[in-house]
A = this chain, B = another copy of it.
Amino acid sequence: MCDTCGCHTSGHTEAKVVEVHQSLLAANQKQADANKQHIEAMGAVAVNMISSPGSGKTTLLEHTLDRIGSRLKIGVIEGDIETERDADRIRKKNIPVVQLTTGGACHLDAPLVHKGLHALEHQSEDGKFDLIFIENVGNLVCPATFDLGEHERIILVSVPEGSDKPAKYPTTFHGADTFVITKTDLLSYFDFSIDEARQESLRINPELRILETGAPAGIGLDEWIEYLLQLIAS
């Protein structure tokens, strides 16, 4: 097992690796449990957004903030290996945002997100939020192993990536609450089968909620916003 990603590795399955892996994941889980309490003390619900690079996480957030950013207290934690680019995009919406750069790591972990929560609190007068988005590092594999303390885990796959992705990345879909198919405004240009994506993902995880969005064209945003409002209300 990999100590960071939690994946099963080939060629190096020594007991030492398993031991280190288990201790790291246990430490992450302890901090994740604390994060969840912290988030609830902030009055918020948190969602962890996981996808490959370029699946449209930041774009979906931009359109979300345009719709509900002025009537709800929303905070955003951006995770990237390098650069402040995603945070710069969100900052233009006048929303509290924290950029976490991992300096190389392929995922966010709970201790890093804990720092992000404190930094977010300092950007709010009363430290309170309705909804906190955690945009994970662009990677469809490794972030799936690390609980960050979120209430809802959202996996995004864009139409250009192909509808075979649920079958090829089952662990990621198994651990998710919601699957958002993004860039559906481009369906006519790609060989993407909505049916295949739905069937394969539900085969892996029958409880999965599935949404379809094409954010720049406004497709599916009403349903997406309704889903977020239900999360906050529940």
Q: Mostly helix, strand, loop or mixed at chain A's interface?
A: loop
A119 within 8 A of B: no
Contact A168 B83 (CB under 8 A): yes
Contact pick for A20, options B5, B17, B54, CB 8 Å: B17
Chain B residues contacting A189 (CB-CB under 8 Å) are 186, 189
Tell me how many chains of this kind the complex includes.
2
CB under 8 Å from chain B, chain A span 38-84 = 52-54, 80-83
Stretch at the interface among A90-98, A103-111, A122-130, A225-233: A103-111
Tell me, rounded to whole Å, the shortest Cβ–Cβ distance linking A212 to chain B: 16
Chain B residues contacting A140 (CB-CB under 8 Å) are 52-53, 138-139
A151 within 8 A of B: no
Contact A164 B4 (CB under 8 A): no
Chain B residues contacting A118 (CB-CB under 8 Å) are none
What are some 18 contacts across the A-B interface (CB < 8 A)? A4-B5, A5-B142, A10-B105, A10-B111, A11-B28, A11-B109, A12-B24, A53-B168, A54-B161, A54-B162, A81-B141, A82-B167, A85-B167, A139-B139, A158-B160, A160-B160, A160-B183, A186-B189
Contact A164 B85 (CB under 8 A): yes
Chain B residues contacting A137 (CB-CB under 8 Å) are 141
Q: A10-B109, A10-B111, A168-B83 are in contact. Are A52 and B4 (CB under 8 A)?
A: no
Contact pick for A106, options B7, B16, B24, B109, CB 8 Å: B7
Chain B residues contacting A175 (CB-CB under 8 Å) are none
Q: For the complex, what is the distance from the CA of A234 to the CA of B112, rounded to whole Å?
A: 46
Chain B residues contacting A141 (CB-CB under 8 Å) are 81, 106, 137, 139, 142
Chain B residues contacting A2 (CB-CB under 8 Å) are 2-5, 105-106
Q: A4-B2, A167-B83, A186-B189 are in contact. Are A109 and B9 (CB under 8 A)?
A: yes
Q: A10-B111, A53-B169, A158-B160 are in contact. Are A20 and B24 (CB under 8 A)?
A: no
Tell me, rounded to whole Å, the shortest Cβ–Cβ distance linking A10 to chain B: 4
Chain B residues contacting A138 (CB-CB under 8 Å) are 52, 140, 168-169
Q: A54-B162, A161-B53 are in contact. Are A8 and B103 (CB under 8 A)?
A: yes
Chain B: CB-nearest residue to A139: B141
